[in-house]
Amino acid sequence: MGKQLRIGMIGYGFMGRAHSNAYKRLNDFFPVEHRIVLQVACARNEEKARAFASNWGYQRFETDWRKVVEAPDVDVIDICTPNDTHQEIAIAAARAGKMILCEKPLARTVAEAQPMVDAVEQSGVPNMVWFNYRRVPAISLAKQLIDEGRIGRPFHYRSNFLQDWTIAPDVPQGGAALWRLDVQAAGSGVTGDLLAHNIDTAMWLNGPITRVVAKTETFVKERMHQLTGKVEPVGIDDACAFLAEFANGSIGVFESTRYARGHKALKTLEMNGADGSLSFNLEECEYLDFFEYTQKETGKSTESHVRGWRRIHVTNGEHPYMNRYWVPGLVIGYEHTFLNALADFVAGLESGVKVQPDFRNALQTQRVCEAVIQSGRTGAWVATGVEA
């Protein structure tokens, strides 16, 4: 039996479930030495914490995250709680010498995120932020094609994340289910919640974003707050569109909203370069569309009568992660992105190669988010300060 990785899960909501699923499956699908042990699940409500722990197979539960952070039989703290709690839990976990897997965005602001980076770097604990979309095999394949030089000089990057679930003005804000609409808990609206993912993927594929100019909008200005029972101003961005300059000279267009009637999670990206283009849509996440203008192997352009978009069904054994799953032609889904991320984290522990995105890397995304929010207020271009 290999070494154990004993998990302390904080939060039992959407991500608590998605991550628990990944922990349960890791040793079935990936040949890592560490054995995952679902040690403690934590939530403030005792009944719910007990039920969650029992349902997912955690050995015990706690109602105070501090006890989990301090527990000698826990190796990894997984932060699956709302954004306003990330900093306190992460810093305490780093001081206690625990490995940390933290949900995105790293924090609400850069000022809040920086001490988290300092804490993990001072203590030297392995850390990762769950920007799981990098681990969609088709997006990982996009990275591979870019690194192989198949796109050539990049000109354009465009990316959307569109939803429609907050259009009704009588949706309240705050509290357990709707903390995303409460700026105190979330830090921002679609920028931190949705665009943070797109920004992380964009900088992974296309390098640092140096400047942004944004238009943000709050369509419903007041909502009933579930914690105070009063109608209060809404402080989050309901929608955000921004232009970006990348350090490599290409330009980016990003859009996110929770007001795109009919869209639940339309998440897309497209990249256009001198030698080719790439296109991805989360609703058909097993495909990567590729337009090859210049053939890498010959350096010649594809003859025009056979030139066209190619739809790659990303299910072959040689595609990223796919040799861990089924036979060619059979697809995997959303939940596997967390499994793939976890597998990379554990493999990184074993090889000594630090997994990305770590806290420092996620701080760069936080910087872009903050510049976007700032630009949304002033209408001016804002330098992101992202490290090259």
Footprint (CB under 6 A) of ligand NAD, residues 99-118:
103-104
Residue 19 is a binding residue for ligand NAD (CB under 6 A): no
Residue selected from 7, 8, 9, 11 as contacting ligand NAD according to rule CB under 6 A? 11
Q: Does 132 bind ligand NAD (CB under 6 A)?
A: yes
- 178 interacts with ligand NAD by CB under 6 A: no
**What is the length of the chain?**
388
**Closest separation between CB of residue 366 and ligand NAD, Å?**
12
Nearest distance from residue 172's CB to ligand NAD, in Å? 14
Residue 100, classed as helix, strand or coil, is strand
Site string for ligand NAD, 50-69 (x = CB under 6 A): ---------------x----
d(CA 217, CA 189): 10
Other Cβ atoms within 10 Å of 244 Cβ, number: 27
Question: Rule CB under 6 A: is residue 134 a binding residue for ligand NAD?
Answer: no
Residue 96 beta carbon to ligand NAD: minimum distance, rounded to whole angstroms: 16
- 97 alpha-carbon distance from chain centroid: 24
The span from the CA of 275 to the CA of 291, in Å, is 9
**Which residues lie across from 270 on neighbouring strands?**
158, 279
Out of 14, 309, 326, 381, the only residue in the binding site for ligand NAD (CB under 6 A) is 14
Task: State the minimum distance, in angstroms, from the CB of residue 140 to ligand NAD.
Answer: 16
Per CB under 6 A, does 175 bind ligand NAD?
no
* Residues touching ligand NAD, count (CB under 6 A): 21
Contact range with ligand NAD by CB under 6 A, out of 38-46, 250-258, 272-280, 282-290: 38-46
Contact 183, 232 (CB under 8 A): no
| DSSP reduced 3-state for 63 | coil
Q: Does 42 bind ligand NAD (CB under 6 A)?
A: yes
Chain position carrying tokens 């897309």: 268
The nearer residue to ligand NAD, 108 or 360, going by C-beta atoms, is 108
Three-class DSSP category at 132: helix
Please tell me whether residue 13 binds ligand NAD under the rule CB under 6 A. Answer: yes
3-state SS, residue 374: helix
Q: Which stretch binds ligand NAD (CB under 6 A): 80-88, 244-252, 254-262, 347-355?
A: 80-88
Q: How far apart are CA 333 and CA 137, in angstroms?
A: 10
Q: What pairs with residue 161 in β-bridges? A: 256, 267
State CA 7 to chain mean position distance. 20
101: nearest Cα among 44, 166, 173, 23:
23
Helices (H) and strands (E) in the chain, counts: 11, 17
Residue at 313: amino acid letter: H
Alpha-carbon dihedral sign for residues 97, 98, 102, 107: negative
Q: Is 320 in the site for ligand NAD (CB under 6 A)?
A: no
Select the residue interacting with ligand NAD from 6, 9, 12, 75 (CB under 6 A): 12
Binding span for ligand NAD by CB under 6 A among 42-50, 203-211, 274-282, 352-360 = 42-50
Answer whether 85's CB lies under 8 Å from 79's CB: yes
Compute the least distance from the CB of residue 206 to ligand NAD, in Å: 20
Contact between 16 and ligand NAD per CB under 6 A: yes
Interface of this chain with ligand NAD, residues 218 to 257, rule: CB under 6 A? none
Pairing of strands 35-42, 127-129: unpaired
Beta carbon nearer to ligand NAD, 46 or 350:
46
Binding site for ligand NAD (CB under 6 A): 10-16, 42-44, 65, 80-83, 85, 103-104, 130, 132, 193
